[in-house]
Each structure stands twice: as C-alpha cells, then as structure tokens.
Amino acid sequence: MTKRLLTMKINGRTVEKAVEPRTLLIHFLREDCQLTGAHIGCDTSHCGACTVDLDGRSVKSCTHLAVQCEGASVLTVEGLANAGTLHAVQDGFYREHGLQCGFCTPGMLMRAYRFLQENPNPTEPEVRAGMSGNLCRCTGYQNIVKAVLHAAATLQQTQKEAA
C-alpha cells in the first residue's frame, strides 16, 4: 500500500511522517510517534481509553484515520503537563484518587481537560454526563467525579489569581 506524507501538530510540535492511508490515529500516535499514553481498549469507540483532543474537541482516536488529521492539532495526555508541572486535571486525579488500575486514566484525563474547557464550572451531574463516554472498570466513578470537580475549582482559582 502506498504511504502518504502526513503533517500535523502533536502536543505543540510539528510531526511529519509517511503513513498508510488505513492507519488509525491511535496506531499512528502509539507506533509511529511513540506516544503510548492513549490506550487501545475496545476498538469500537465505546470505552474512551484512546481519547485525545483534536482541534479543540474530544475524539476517540480509534475512530479516526490518521490521514483525516492532516494539518490538525492533536493534544495527547503526554502534552498536558507543562514544564514538569501537572495540569489541573492530572493534579485532581492524583489528589482525589481518581484512578485505580490506570488503564482508562489517559482517556479520562483528556476528556476531563476538554470538558472543563466547555464547562468550567460544572455541577456533579454535569460532570457525570460530560464524562459518560469514557468507561472505567475499577473505580465506580465517584473519585473521578471528585477529581474533575477539584480540577474545575483549581482552574477557576488560577483564573481569579491571574485577573
């Protein structure tokens, strides 16, 4: 199969690689870019372990062909921290024990990141609805909800301090 040259920004850096047209974004990220944070969980888009941010929206990277992302901007879990400082959603999951086995965590973090961009001051029911496309088989979700609410409060406080 003939490969196509693909250029996109991943975590703020321009990446240019040859890729087979049938390559899924999740495989491109993991195998071609060695960004293994996003996990392959179900291959059916149900679990959300492969969630990344694509041009300002949460997507399940197992449902997008890499070539469809030509010129796009992708943020993966590896791109959340800034100069060694955890992003508020990462810190929230750490402080509120929002993980157990950790398999779903990268997708949860990425969905939480985008959800809080969309709704910076959510209620608990809104967090549950906003995160409903990502499945966790270990935690029972309570601490994940607490983690997202903690991150929301942190981000709000940071904005107040910056103003």
pLDDT at 42: 86
pLDDT at 163: 86
pLDDT at 38: 96
Radius of gyration, alpha carbons of the chain: 16
Rounded CA separation 86/43 (Å): 29
Report whether pLDDT(43) > 90.
no
Q: What is the 3-state secondary structure (H, E, C) of 60-94?
A: EHHHCEHHHHCCCEEECHHHCCECCECCHHHHHHH
Question: Between residues 139 and 57, which one has the greater pLDDT?
Answer: 57
Rounded CA separation 141/159 (Å): 27
Average pLDDT (17-38) is 97
Residue recorded with tokens 């910056």? 162
Q: How much of the chain exceeds pLDDT 90, in percent?
A: 88
Alpha helices, DSSP H only, in the chain? Answer: 25-27, 88-95, 105-118, 124-130, 142-162
Q: How much of the chain exceeds pLDDT 70, in percent?
A: 100
Report whether pLDDT(140) > 90.
no
pTM of the entire predicted model = 0.95
Average pLDDT (58-78) is 97
Phi, psi dihedrals of residue 69, rounded to the nearest 5°: -100, 15
Report whether pLDDT(96) > 90.
yes
pLDDT at 44: 82
Mean per-residue pLDDT over the chain, rounded: 95
Report whether pLDDT(139) > 90.
no
